[in-house]
Structure formats: structure tokens, C-alpha cells
Structure 1
């Protein structure tokens, strides 16, 4: 744990840290920007419940009133969900301003990793990581998540990178940065709403114990940086590839026509894909988040034994 005057650790999380019990970090951008109210609050609370049921302590991370919160109250989760897009989507570059101005911020994958690492939490469950956006060869639009994975010692359990991104270039970037991409029971990189893509993970590992062993080996050998654990969406919730691809192409076309750029791109695309799929993508999104929370809890349990 890092001594940080801005850091507030929830009593339940602090007790788990002191006792060496398993903890799973959870992000807050999915609450404020990833889903509509009240689905966002209900999902956040259900994810926390799932983590507890699988033997770990949930630590939802956000910034409230300029304080870095590791573990939220139900009232704080409700606040994030109700305020929605009024909460600032906070990446690494935004952190000092949000802290100095005592504002509220919803943490991305990158900032959740940063704050989790400050508290000493090693396992983080999310939906999908950010990555290299399509057309990045001209826009240079690359998520800060990838650079954070290169230097922050947290394992991120996800359903791959968001399928609105360029999966191949995302994997190339991670390889360049030395970030292991481990497929949980699969050889191909999951594509968020679907279980497979045309791209390979670095290694297939079939058990939570095996994944925890890789984490231990990486960090005890002083190899800095995170690990991507790619956990495919359950088969019964996977969407048809042609349906989701068509919706993404339409959403990307509208994004370009409306001139939406930067941090507003992903919320727009996810919202538009939800509309174009009649809400099916939201159901899949919720299912994959729950699935990742279960796996992250199992990994945290195993890692706590090491």
C-alpha cells in the first residue's frame, strides 16, 4: 500500500488488506458512462454481490469530492449512477485536476489500475479494456489503458478489448509493451460481445490457479506491468458476429459524421450499438461483467494463497 494523502480505503477493503484476504477492484466508468440508470446501479451492486459470493471483497473505485475511493458505499454508487454523464470520465491525465478541484470522477481501466495499485489490490475485473481505435493510423487514438498495462502491476480480467476497436493493433501494441495476454480456456482473443476473433492470445491458461501463478512469477521476478486475462463471454450470452459487426460499422459511420472524438467516442459507440441491437448488447455487456467478476474472484482467492 502506498502512503497517499488523497486515498480513502473502505473499512471492509482495509480489513481484507490487513488480513491478506482476496480483493477484486471494480471500475466506475461502467456505472456513470457504460449503462443507463437504473441498470448501471443495479449492475454495480450485483457485481459486488457476485464478488462476495465467490470469496473475495469488492473494491469499487471512484473519485468522490477529490478523494481516491477504494471501496464505495451504496449511496456513492447511487450518486455515480444517477449523475451519469455528469460525472467526469477520468483517465491518468485528468487525475491531478480532479483531485485539486475536489471533483467527482469515474475511473477508467487506467485510473482504476493506478488507484488499485496504490492500495495494494492486484486483481481487477472490468468489461473490456480500451485499445487502439479503428483508423488510429491517422487519428493516433489509442487508449491510455494500454500504457497503464505496461507499467502498473495489476491483473485485468476482461472479455477482451471492446469490439468497437482494432483488436489486431491493440494486441500488437500490448506485445510491444511486454504485456502478457492470457486466454482463459481459449487460444483466440475474445471480442467482447462475441467469444472469438481472428487473433491469438499469447498463452492459453485453463485454471484460476494457473493464472495466479503467472501473476506471482511476473511480479516476484520484478517484471513490472500488468497482465490481461481474456475471459470470453458465456456462450449463451454471446451475440451473432454478423449482427454486432453491422451495428458497430453503423455506429462508427455516425461517429465520424458527427465529428465525435476523444473520450466521448467510446460512450457514444456503446450507446449507439445498444440502440441498434435493440438492447441485446446491454444484456450481453451485463452478462460478461458478471462472468469476469466470478473469474477475478477465483483468481484473487488463489493469489491470496501464494
Structure 2
């Protein structure tokens, strides 16, 4: 049997033709399964009973065990047990004015080995399949539909490096973006990367006008090499050169994430280097206090006053800077803290 969540609409149209259905039936299925939240083909009454039975024999809609944990700030972490016994975590983050952001995982573990990230301590176990990525979005979206009709933002910032699982991530985005299904606009979808330059180049062609967030965390190669081994392969200059002409949605900026680490990347020298590096680029810089966890070793978060002074000096140079407040820290759901499979 075929897993329904692995099909893009185009692939499903072709498959439906093979089964003897009209092409438009694929669009109907997308609408019923994704937009309307149906979990059984037998319940889709617009199809003849014979056709529903055939689809039930050819296709299946998987179900995963899920355990939600809610923080006092409203953040909810979902632990999904995968069919092979592995586990991943996704996070629902409440925003202002009833908006929500769904943080999605793309791998079990990660091979990038960033110093500040708990997921790195798992090592790399495997890529998530397309359907496992889609499942997270659909499941959590169905949960919040009961409370709001607002479309959530989707950020590929959970466990794993999205561009290291490139094909499955692209297919998952095409599925959740499709107007006949969840219909989540590319303007609402952000792909994060530690800086795999060849994949950024591919992304420019394959998914133009998606939002791109780059985990920067240092403005010189020496410090970034220490924090993020990927920088040894694709140094800052090469990364910036690749990213600066990324085709973004109208009025959107390239995003750089910068985890603030005490007495490491929060100095006057770092401010000077950031201004030189980023001021020529239409971008925003998100400053994020390091979330201290069991595996962050000798790294500690910058204090609030240091972060505010850091931000002010950059803003004084007309840079677009935000200070992001960590959410879900008490349930290990904040940035860099997802580590489901260690349980």
C-alpha cells in the first residue's frame, strides 16, 4: 500500500490516472484529507462506495503516537513516536494576536554537530521521510483549527538540518503549500540552515520566494568554526555571497539567527564584525539568548543587559535587529533544546 502523505498533488494525479480515476479526484482527496482533516477514505462521501473501497486498499493514512507537553507560556511540545521506534519533537509556539508558529523537525538527530545544540549530541540517525515531515504539520494544524482559523507560520527549525534532507523537505513543502490542501503560503514558510551553500543554490531555483533563515552565530570564521563545523567547509564569506541574492517574498528580509553566548560572541569586536558583514544586505538579525542545557558544556547565555546593549549599537547603525524571547524553555522546547531520542 502507498502512504498518502508521500504524494505531491502532481504525483497523486498521475497515480489516480493509473487507477482509472479522473485527474480532478486527486484534488478532491487533497482537500478532504488535508483541508477538511479526514482520516479515512471510506468517509469521503463524494466518492462511490466501490471507489472508496479501492482507495482504502491502495492507499493508507498513517497514524503516529503523540505525547504533548505544555509550558506555562503556552508553548506545546509534541513528541512523536515513529513507526521504527525512533522519536522526534515538534513545537507549537503561540505568538501575538492569536497567531501560531509550528516548528518542524526534518531528521532524527543531526550530523552538523553545532556546539550549542542538544540535538547534535544524538549524532545522525536518519532523515525523516516526506510523510513524516508532512504529518507533523497536519497533525498540529488540526489541533489549532479547533481554536483559531488563522493559518500558522511554519519554520523548519526543529531537529536536524533541513537542507541535509533536501529532497524530502522540498516535497513536504510542496504538499503543505498546495492550494487544494493545507494551502500554507510560501510567505509563511521559513527554511533554516546552518549554511550548506550548494543546497542554498539549489533552493534558489527549486523554491524561490520561500523565507530563508541562516544560523550565523558568529561574524568571523575562527569563532564560527568552533561553534559550527560546517563553517570549515563553507566559510562565512562564501555563505554570505550565496545568500545575499536569495529571491525572497516581497517586503521580506533574509533572516540571520545569532545565539548570544557570554564573553564569546557578544563583544565590541563582534558588533564591529557584524556591521561590516551584514549592513550591506537587506536582512534582519534575530538575537537569541543561548538556552542552557545539559549538553551545552562550557557555553553560557549572555545576560539581558548585554544583549540589549548589543542590539542598540547595531540599531544605531540602522540594522534591523530583534531580540527573541525564548519560549518553552521549561519543557526543553526552546531553540537548540530538542533531543527526543535521548529519552
Q: TM-score, normalised by structure 2?
A: 0.32
Structure label with greater radius of gyration: 2
More strand, by proportion: 2
More helix, by proportion: 1
Q: Report which structure shows greater RCO (CA 8 Å, sep ≥6).
A: 1
